[in-house]
Chain A
């Protein structure tokens, strides 16, 4: 061995002090297979070592929460004895290297998380961020990710109903590919670490696909370090997905749970068998004897560390009492799935691993799972905060308002994403009442009047200017998107996408974002039920925008009272709920028209937001709203135009304001909604808003093919629809 060769632990992503910690735990030098397990389990991705102390400050409890953070997914009570199980994860690192498989296996992984809770997956949402589509590589990444999401999601019988797609320069090298899955289960049949009682002597049964060399080092090499110029060489660390196997795995797993054949269930994801076996044993308060020779392999001559940390897809680990083994085998046979008894739970806490008849590892299971390092990494705020000097709000603007509106409506962040979501099956299972393109997706609970309202929101542009406000906006907008349909926001999951946490400025962004999430979730009474942290999204010292993505779950008690976003007919009064302030900082107008991302993002008064949400939910329940649409990117102008495009009816309005016209139209002040109200409900509606202290102004009425904003601009619905619809296809066809 040459003097300068890197020691094994560093190659596995372990720091020198982490290595010493392992030696102290074991009281000896670790064996290679043991190091591989620690390397995977103590990776940032698996151990949350840089984020843990911050995540602990998030509110996690509430009356609707059945299962909080720490399980495979969170769960909330949605009434009638049912639980909605939901979680979001990122697959950004693999997607940057191999977009199709990266995105596809991201879908597979999150679906297994939901299944392992005993829930049937009923919806998928995909929040994505890419660099500008003017770059060929970004088009390649987008097309690959979309094809991967569809190629996998469309083959497993779970509808893809929403998500969002946004574009920003800092996401060019590192696209953000998150995916959220929602499932339904009988609340009293949820599978958690405490819901079932595993016994010593019970078997650990691996079923599903065979184990190969794909995805080795996925968590430690790919997900827990920055990508650099040699990242192409990491392609073998990207897993390969097989949605057909996943579909069989879903059906078999749900049948095993329903028939009460299991004492525990866990999916195999990051860190593969090492993670699943050690976590299952540690949660049971026991140890395990793992025989790697029993693991069905796809390739010959695999090393112990490869079998332990392979991230081959479509595998599950069940704990099965010996008396139930034959029944479990019969179910798996019926679904054509391979099954193998690979381990046995034992008293005491040791995980022993044998390979080729030899002992290759003997470590306390709990040391892998719960005793990893925890870091309080230094935070440092940037020297210059975005001040008022460069705030676009106060720059004079002489441009043509209609031309500006066209630019904003056709900007990639605002333009219709139909080209993308038409490639996803949004219909399977037959419960999708509103899909992608709505403020929130609405998925009916089968056989019930109730429905889930689901939205994912990130506010990276605001976050780049003020990470605290970015996080607050993400929660507030997600809650508003759910509430405009008439649903009550219940709880969130999240995926926190950031750069390298070892850089103090990134850690500051993270800490500020957590503070924002905490404040907003407390104020809006939407606790955090779980989530995922994705660090190291940077290349060459340049990080992505700090982007906490929020996945909000809301509940509609009666889906027949759901409120559409578009103006459904002529002759409605058009109202603005909330107030418009001079706030163009970080706005879509500033980026699309002025070409700057600068200024102070809009303020959020969480009490106002809470009051607005209350009005929306109450007004919908009283059937006072014909339409309601969130004012966000592009402000009032875009909200009005999208309401017209969505419903196919124009409008004539007057915007009474002391602000310059472009500020009044494009300001992105928070806590605002455009509502369509039937004339006979106007009085009740305005009284309700007044009683709740929510400002309300009547702008005009719907009707006709034209869009008229008195003294400001005039055009047709058809003209703006064409701009809105054609922008993304036009950008993508530049590739040809």
Chain B
């Protein structure tokens, strides 16, 4: 099917909470098609949902049937607790499959949701990591390996395929009404922390991540971008503002208690992105979240 500027936007991983948020914002402006192996409860009527595993051959039928002009690829598992092999195949094989289809069907825009953890939490990191920094996340943290691989694959695609506007977003810890590891942590009734460490943490509200994706879909936007929310804050202060008890736990020396912080200047300068939600907004989300455990994801 030839490229159609009026075509639909495909959102992979649409049934996750962030995916649903993206869909609810996006479907008011454009035709949205969803792809997820999970059902999509509460789906807006004008959103077409394909309940297929991203690794299946049938995904190609979707591209043949729908006129896709852009893909928002967020079918990437960020939770390291899942089965490693499953993890790897969804992330790496899934991403490869999607990018192959993008190329084959002449899609002109693809937005890949990576994450700022790909730089790796290292003691010798500079305070604010920029986009050109090598991705050393997998060096010591094996569970980050496939996320790094996905990011690098999308990067290669970006440079090899000039006719596709590829955008790789590396947001900091996503919080708000989502099931990200950071968000699940902030919902705990008490917070385990590594004794003797109090790293600076950067968070971004899911609403702002959605805004970042919308901005990335604009014609002409292309490249790799860190996406940051409000200024960083020491973890302990964030937790204390949320107001539940901290439980210090002795951790292994030298690797524990480190985060990486990134510089969001490029996205701000080149795309004009400014986060709307402040630390206070983020804290308010979790103040009232004590009693509710993290909702099941699938």
A in complex with B: no
- Interfacial residues, chain B to chain A (CB-CB below 8 A): none
